Structure 1
Amino acid sequence: MILLRKNFSLLLGCLAVTSKISILLPPSNFRTSLWLFTSKSDDPSPKTPFIVKYLIDSAGLSSSEADKCSKSLTHVKSPSNPDFVLEFFRKNGFTNADIKKIICSHSRVLCANVDSTLKPKFKALRDLGFSDTQITKLITANSLALNYLSYCNVHPRIEFFNNFIYSNDDIVRALSSNICLLSSSLEKTIKPNITCMRECQFSNERIGALLINEGRVIGRALNNVESIVKRVEELGVPRGSRMFYRTFRCLCRVNADIFDAKIKLLGSLGFSGSELSAILKQPLVFCLSAKNLCETVDFLVKVAGCELSYVSRHASMIGLSITKRLIPRHYVMQLIMDRGLLNKKIDFYFFVSISERKFLEKFISSFQQRMPELADVYLSASAGKFLY
């Protein structure tokens, strides 16, 4: 009887505890609630994923770099293949810094098969006469090139580019900065664009310069390149002229909307008619920001006292640095004129456009005896400080 009472008391105690818990939490959540109240110290601590730790320890990446790169390598559970890749790069002259840069820009290279993928790509470049140093420079600068370096892809391209670029160092420069020279179709895109440029009477040397410095345009659709040619012609620049080439090169970096906006901006600054036509033939105006263009024209007209017609005739002034060239030289010109050191007025364009060496000889050194502080005045003005 005593044992029965004790068991009944225990049962009542359990029911009491259960009833208190049920007041706080719905019965359906009871199991979950018990899990929430268990100590977290009993759970295993989260481990750093294998590939993140590998990228940090073996490739030298920072934790943030490793975390970012690991997103495309989550399937990698073993160090064997990545180890082969790292060893291959090191044996081929890549420094740890080179390898880190490659992985950060193209982490999936660690999944490449060394024998069937990487070795043939390196061999293709060596067979074309590229040195180990050049190969290292190319792949470090543009690791995505590894995706396109099969022999059948790269061999005809290099042979074609050799018609315009005469050294492997310059080809490396072109391929390093413009992946489209490897990724775009040679027959459907690159060759038709080159033909269009030849029709503009560009020499092979100028086409080579475009491949090296403006290679992205070579990878665009033909109608895009033709639209650039059309815009240059609309400015009244004749094909075959040096200015046509210079303007074409500048407009490679400017889309049609920016081109139209820049013409509208120049109109708002007061240029119209023949003045606007003249200034538009100076391709630098399309490469300047709207802010820079406005500040420069404002200075030339309101501070230097130039007429808009004068600015349009000497539009290259707009491309000069306002802080490092125009303002310091104008300041010096005013000083030497105020001191009576010049017998006649200097043409402003000549004053600001001559080389730095000639400017120092003609307008600083020659007045050194009569105005010893002039050199310091000019240096200070070039640094944004004005002594007078």
Structure 2
Amino acid sequence: MDEVLVMIGFKKENFLKKQMILVRNNSSLLFGLLAGTSKISILLPPSNPLTSLRLFTSKADDLSPKTPFIVKYLVGSLGLSSSEADKCSKFLSHIKSPSKPDSVLQFFRKNGFTEANIKRIIRSHSRVLCAKVDSTLKPKFEVLRDLGFSDTQITKLVTANPLALNYLSYCNVRPRIEFFNTFIDSNDDILKALSRDTCLISSSMEKKMKPNIACMRECQFSDERIRALLINEGGRVIGRAPKFLKSIVKRVNELGVPPRSGMFYHTFRCLCGVSLDMFDAKIKLLGSLGFSQSELSAILKQPFIIRLSAKNLCEKVDFLVKEAGCELSYVSRHPSMIGLSMTKRLIPRHYVMQLIMERGLLKKKIGLFHFVSISERNFLKKYIFSFQQRMPELPNVYLSASAGKFLY
């Protein structure tokens, strides 16, 4: 095998590295590889659209004669399953003719939407099939084009967030885009924000957006941080009632986080994503796991941990303490470990760490935090490939551990 790789111009180490990274991202492929029976099947869609149409039509023909027209239409025209079509037909039972939905589908296709795009839109917002193309859909697309959005960007927005179509009127969107442009100077970033949250075009500017921006200004947040909040948190921040944001600011102050510090911003951002009751419950849970008040304060340096589920928190703390042998004080000093994946990072790397330490491959003891926090590339280089000559089975050990299978 090694000679073959050299002959075709591959370095063995680079080949194995790419293979490991690829396989770790697909555990089902991993099991097949370890068993020596892996097969990759590539299923190509029919290249001829007439073939697809015949396929969809045959599906519709298989339905019961009593099946409502719109269900048959969705199965036959879009290739939805009967259960998907039945769910989508909830608000479409009045449609008895294909003329209007046909015109909507044709409009999307003419505007560059793929069949996969259209199916996604209909699954999320089937009512769009009731829209009038000339008086409803065309003006909404024209508004976005007038504001500088390309056809590709419009396709991405509508596909990612079909409900945005309900709010894309000239008088509703234009002032919001102009308002966002004071913080976000890229249409791609505005697109990202709108794609994630309809609140950015549905919430009241005067009652919510402007007061909430003013609140963030009072917290001394820079334009760059306000921009990040709009893009990544959207309605969870700007779409809230202003009194909610003020209660968040009060809670962050009560936690003793220094105003105007980076931690104030990160804690504020985290709390905007959870209710105050949930936040208090997570703090109480961490306390019940044995963390002292000072250790809890250290953990809050990584406030995203509060967003983890109670089950997730308990499992990770239990693993770190009971399996990995970490002291609670060590975990509190390195709280980012709690945010790492159990199956992809904590368990396989801890397993490898134990093995190479037992084999005496390390000259000095290294803490778990170092093992689990370094990048995948550096981990493979420092602890897999560098020890492979003395422990040839190490790559397989790491791969199998990543799939939940332990060789020793």
TM-score by length of 2: 0.77
Equivalent-residue separation in structure 2 for 1:333 and 1:344 (angstroms): 12
Equivalent-residue separation in structure 2 for 1:187 and 1:245 (angstroms): 24
Give 1:58 shift.
4.1
Give 1:161 shift.
1.0
Partner SS for 1:367: coil
Change (3 A) 1:318 1:63: closer
1:368 aligned to which of 370, 376, 388: 388
1:153 aligned to which of 167, 172, 188: 172
Equivalent-residue separation in structure 1 for 2:105 and 2:380 (angstroms): 54
Report matched runs for 1:1-388 at 5 Å: 48-217=67-236, 218-388=238-408
C-alpha RMSD over aligned residues = 2.4
Q: Deviations over 1:190-219 (max 9, x none)?
A: 121122222223222222222222112121
Give 1:46 shift.
7.1
Change (3 A) 1:104 1:293: closer
Higher relative contact order (CA 8 A, sep 6+): 2
Q: Deviations over 1:145-197 (max 9, x none)?
A: 12211111110111111122222222222112201111111121112112222
Change (3 A) 1:48 1:234: same
* Contact 1:73/1:108 (8 A) holds in 2: yes
Q: Deviations over 1:272-325 (max 9, x none)?
A: 221222123321321222222112222222233222222211111211223332
For 1:129, the aligned partner's letter is: G
For 2:125, the aligned partner's letter is: H
Equivalent-residue separation in structure 2 for 1:362 and 1:167 (angstroms): 40
Deviates more, 1:266-275 or 1:134-143: 134-143
Change (3 A) 1:127 1:281: same
Q: Deviations over 1:352-378 (max 9, x none)?
A: 322222223333333333333333333
Change (3 A) 1:340 1:158: same
Partner SS for 1:189: helix
* Contact 1:189/1:221 (8 A) holds in 2: yes
For 2:249, the aligned partner's letter is: V
Give 1:61 shift.
4.0
Equivalent-residue separation in structure 1 for 2:138 and 2:162 (angstroms): 15
Deviates more, 1:235-244 or 1:210-219: 235-244
Change (3 A) 1:292 1:86: closer
For 1:110, the aligned partner's letter is: L
Give 1:344 shift.
2.6
Partner SS for 2:362: coil
Give 1:117 shift.
1.9
Partner SS for 2:214: helix
For 1:338, the aligned partner's letter is: E
Change (3 A) 1:344 1:168: same
Q: Deviations over 1:118-146 (max 9, x none)?
A: 22211111100111111122122222212
Equivalent-residue separation in structure 2 for 1:304 and 1:48 (angstroms): 58
* Contact 1:61/1:100 (8 A) holds in 2: yes
Equivalent-residue separation in structure 2 for 1:278 and 1:338 (angstroms): 32
Q: Deviations over 1:83-141 (max 9, x none)?
A: 33333222222233333333333333233232222222111111001111111221222
For 1:212, the aligned partner's letter is: I
Equivalent-residue separation in structure 2 for 1:130 and 1:322 (angstroms): 41
5+ long unaligned stretches in structure 2:
1-63
Identity of aligned residues (%): 80
Rg bigger for which structure?
A: 1
Aligned residues: 344
Change (3 A) 1:76 1:342: closer
Deviates more, 1:293-302 or 1:104-113: 104-113
Equivalent-residue separation in structure 2 for 1:122 and 1:194 (angstroms): 28
Change (3 A) 1:130 1:338: same
Partner SS for 1:333: helix
For 2:226, the aligned partner's letter is: I
Q: 1:20: which partner in 2? A: none
Equivalent-residue separation in structure 2 for 1:48 and 1:350 (angstroms): 60
Equivalent-residue separation in structure 2 for 1:159 and 1:93 (angstroms): 26
* Contact 1:235/1:280 (8 A) holds in 2: no
Change (3 A) 1:336 1:215: same
* Contact 1:105/1:143 (8 A) holds in 2: yes
For 1:337, the aligned partner's letter is: M
Equivalent-residue separation in structure 2 for 1:337 and 1:49 (angstroms): 66
5+ long unaligned stretches in structure 1:
1-44
Deviates more, 1:79-88 or 1:352-361: 79-88
Equivalent-residue separation in structure 1 for 2:355 and 2:406 (angstroms): 11
